[in-house]
Structure 1
Amino acid sequence: MSNGNYSIGGQVGGGFGASMGGDYGSQGGGFGGDGGGDGPTGGDLIFDVTTQTFMADVMEASRQQPVLVDFWAPWCGPCKQLTPIIEAVVKAAGGTVKLAKMNIDDHPEIAGQMGIQSIPAVVAFKDGQPVDGFMGAQQESQVKEFIEKLAGPAPVNQADAFLEQAEQLLVEKDFGQAAQLFGAVMQMEPDNVKAICGLAQCYLDADELERATQALDMVPEDKRSEEAYTAAKAALDLAEQAASLGDLAGLQERIAKDPQDLQARFDLALGLNGKGDKNGAVDQLIEIVRNDREWNEDGARKQLLQFFEAWGFKDPASAYGRRKLSAVLFA
């Protein structure tokens, strides 16, 4: 993003960095003195910086890793657009870069000495010197490209990589390999809710309901509102309901004799879902909605929504069910 027309305060490219370098090094008192005041602690990636803390928190810190300085003000509309974007990209960068936010209304000295005449302005510091920057609101992809050019791509998180592979294996119904990878993630991150629930799903798909229950019991209480847990718990509840139905042939015979036997259709839907026939389960519930929307206090539609929660939004059966339900409700 440091192209030929990059400028802050009319200074271009190397001239910007070179013209400020000596001043920074020689103005310890003006740019922070002893570095007093509240600054970042430990591994803080995003923090506020003041004139007093600039030397320690930006200049010196940039010798360890690049530091971006976001010059902003409360009245600046584009600043409000840029700040959440740059914060998100910095967090996703995995600690390769830090972000210091400087309110120029409260601390105008540094921006003035750097010749910054409009905001938002972002300046990158590395090895104690300003090396690059941009002005104005930017798209997330542009900010990401800027940071990767400055600090390199974010390191690959092995747990995330294993989790992605395991979830794909689950879709491909390779439950053994998926379970091994979910287990590997849990070794690295014991409280990883997606890994725990993924392992539970492997057990569910193998009809090992007791082991699935034991796996879900490992999810910490304070994380049981997360989508991965609620979906897995819904799937377990459905599997337990299906297991209690036994052989489905009797239900199918009841429907053949009396197509208006809505309870038989409802129970058959649960059983079909338990056997992996999701579309068949949808069809039975849709037939109930078509015949009697109010049956069992709107029970068929509510059961469809529970299916969708258990299957997940991206599951093709969820999309199939939503299409069928919309067609019936809005016909």
Structure 2
Amino acid sequence: MIELGGQTNTAPQAGEHISEGSDQTFMQDVVEASQKVPVIVDFWATWCGPCKQLGPALEAAVQKQNGKVKLVKIDVDQNQQVAGQLRVQSIPTVYAFFQGQPVDGFQGALPPSQIDEFVQKLAEMGGGAEGGEEEDGLAQAVEAAEQMLSEGAASDAAETFAAILQEDDKNAAAYGGLVRAYLALGQVNEAEAVLNGAPADLHGSPEIEAAAAAIQLARQAENAGPVADLRAKVEANPDDHQARYDLATALQASGETEAAVAELLELFRRDREWNDQAAKTQLFTIFDSLKPTDPIVLNGRRKLSSMIFA
């Protein structure tokens, strides 16, 4: 459950690089804006003590970058939808978005020196560091490989991702892409080997976490039962929670992710505490395996949040 809390009641420093956001403007202010420069999202509330320490330091660090990074401040008391979708469980929580995806973040107040390092790293990610042309080339290669994967050319995508890692062995996007390519080829063991071979300092990155979640779902799929049989069991007894959970697993295994999410949401609605909140845990595993902006993720998190806060 989200602990609602936040920052001082003082308005953000004036300037085009710092603004107040909301559930309604999140896509425009954060996701779309991060296509050009990294965007930091500061989740806060007026009564949160640590937020009063973090806010001014974060604003000052962003102002130093002169537009290389932007800051959007969201009061979670007034905007619970986005906070729920991003699984904000305590505040202050800070997320950084770049090119439409979360790329970094932290919880709690940090000393100014660490905040400066955090913001500086994001500024460099957005093009402030030397060697930008080479990085742009690798980013284009990753995009091309992702396109191959989306078009069903998993083998070609795997080769491209592997080649990228030869050039940059710390490219989290390439590791995540290679894992998904192997999974698309049905090679779960190979995908797991790639994940285990990723550098330790990449663990915790969105791409690696998504890859780990995808492998977990693939392992579950190996033991999934027939969809038709499980659906018949659920229809015969809607309160058979294990059958509904197994049906969701089977649907996910067959590529029907949206239907799997719907069954898990229904299970959560019927008994959110069943099997140590298994439905909620499985929902988060599916959400983590997809891009944060995927409609299945956005709709699923919104529905889950509405149940939690009902």
TM-score range, shorter chain: 0.5 to 0.7
Say which SS state the counterpart of residue 133 (structure 2) adopts.
coil
Residue matched to 2:65:
84
1:242-257 matches, cutoff 5 A: 242-257=221-236
Does the CA-based 8 Å contact 1:196-1:218 persist in structure 2?
no
Among 265, 287, 293, the alignment partner of 1:314 is 293
The answer as to 2:146 corresponding to 1:167 is yes
Which structure exhibits the higher relative contact order, with contacts defined as CA atoms closer than 8 Å and separated by 6 or more residues? Answer: 2
Does the CA-based 8 Å contact 1:279-1:320 persist in structure 2?
no
The answer as to 2:237 corresponding to 1:258 is yes
Query: Moved runs in structure 1, 4+ residues, more than 6 A?
Result: 86-89
The answer as to 2:156 corresponding to 1:177 is yes
Unaligned runs of 5+ in 1: 1-77, 90-139, 148-152
State the distance in 1 between where 2:61 and 2:172 align: 33
Size of the alignment, in residue pairs?
A: 195
Residue matched to 2:248:
269
Residue matched to 1:204:
183
Between the two proteins, what is the percent identity of the paired residues? 34
Q: Deviations over 1:90-149 (max 9, x none)?
A: xxxxxxxxxxxxxxxxxxxxxxxxxxxxxxxxxxxxxxxxxxxxxxxxxx9xxx9xx9xx
Q: Which has the larger radius of gyration?
A: 1
1:323–1:87 Cα change, 3 Å: closer
Say which SS state the counterpart of residue 290 (structure 1) adopts.
helix
Among 197, 201, 214, the alignment partner of 1:222 is 201
Does the CA-based 8 Å contact 2:224-2:253 persist in structure 1?
no
Say which SS state the counterpart of residue 225 (structure 1) adopts.
coil
1:3-42 matches, cutoff 5 A: none
Does the CA-based 8 Å contact 2:268-2:279 persist in structure 1?
yes
User: Structure 2-normalised TM-score?
Assistant: 0.56
Does the CA-based 8 Å contact 2:210-2:288 persist in structure 1?
yes
State the distance in 1 between where 2:308 and 2:223 align: 30
1:184 Cα deviation after fit: 1.9
1:267–1:81 Cα change, 3 Å: closer
1:28-107 matches, cutoff 5 A: 82-85=63-66
State the distance in 1 between where 2:235 and 2:158 align: 40
Question: Which amino acid in the other structure matches residue 84 of structure 1?
Answer: Q
State the distance in 2 between where 1:79 and 1:210 align: 47
Does the CA-based 8 Å contact 1:243-1:271 persist in structure 2?
no
The answer as to 2:268 corresponding to 1:301 is no
CA-based RMSD: 3.0
State the distance in 2 between where 1:81 and 1:219 align: 31
State the distance in 2 between where 1:243 and 1:80 align: 48
Question: Which amino acid in the other structure matches residue 218 of structure 2?
Answer: A
Does the CA-based 8 Å contact 1:200-1:212 persist in structure 2?
yes
State the distance in 2 between where 1:255 and 1:263 align: 9
Does the CA-based 8 Å contact 1:308-1:318 persist in structure 2?
yes
1:88 Cα deviation after fit: 6.5
State the distance in 1 between where 2:202 and 2:193 align: 16
1:162 Cα deviation after fit: 0.2
Residue matched to 1:115:
none
Say which SS state the counterpart of residue 300 (structure 1) adopts.
helix
1:205 Cα deviation after fit: 2.1
State the distance in 2 between where 1:255 and 1:82 align: 56
More helix by share: 2
1:265 Cα deviation after fit: 0.8
Does the CA-based 8 Å contact 1:199-1:212 persist in structure 2?
yes
1:80–1:270 Cα change, 3 Å: closer
Say which SS state the counterpart of residue 325 (structure 1) adopts.
helix
Residue matched to 1:56:
none
Q: Deviations over 1:289-329 (max 9, x none)?
A: 12112212222122111211111312221122123323433
Does the CA-based 8 Å contact 1:193-1:223 persist in structure 2?
yes
Residue matched to 2:10:
none
State the distance in 1 between where 2:213 and 2:60 align: 42
Unaligned runs of 5+ in 2: 1-58, 71-122
Residue matched to 2:43:
none
